[in-house]
Amino acid sequence: MINGLIALIIALIIVGIICGLVVWLIRAAPFIPEPFKSWAEYLVYVVAVLVILAKALPLIGVAI
C-alpha cells in the first residue's frame, strides 16, 4: 500500500510539472488566438486529471 502511495505521489509530481509547462507554453504562444488558448488549457487540465485518476483508481481496487 505504501509503495502504491509513493508511486501516486511521484505520478502527481511528474504530471503536475508537465501540465504546468504545457499550460505555460500555451499562454506564451503568440500564434494561438485567445478563445483557443482557454480551450487548450482546459484540455490539458482534463487530460492531467484523467491520467491521475487512471493511476489512483487501481489503488482502491477499481479495475479500468
Q: Over its length of 64 residues, how does the chain's per-residue pLDDT go in tens digits? A: 788 899 999 999 999 999 999 999 999 999 999 999 999 999 999 999 999 999 999 888 887 7
Give rounded-to-5 percent helix, strand, coil for the chain. Answer: 85, 0, 15
Q: What is this structure's pTM?
A: 0.85
Provide the pLDDT for residue 61: 85
Q: Which residues contact 48 (CB under 8 A, 6 or more apart)?
A: 15, 16, 18, 19
Domains identified in the chain, total number: 1
Range of the domain at 52: 2-60
Provide the pLDDT for residue 40: 95
What distance in Å separates the CA atoms of residue 37 and residue 27, rounded to the nearest whole number?
7
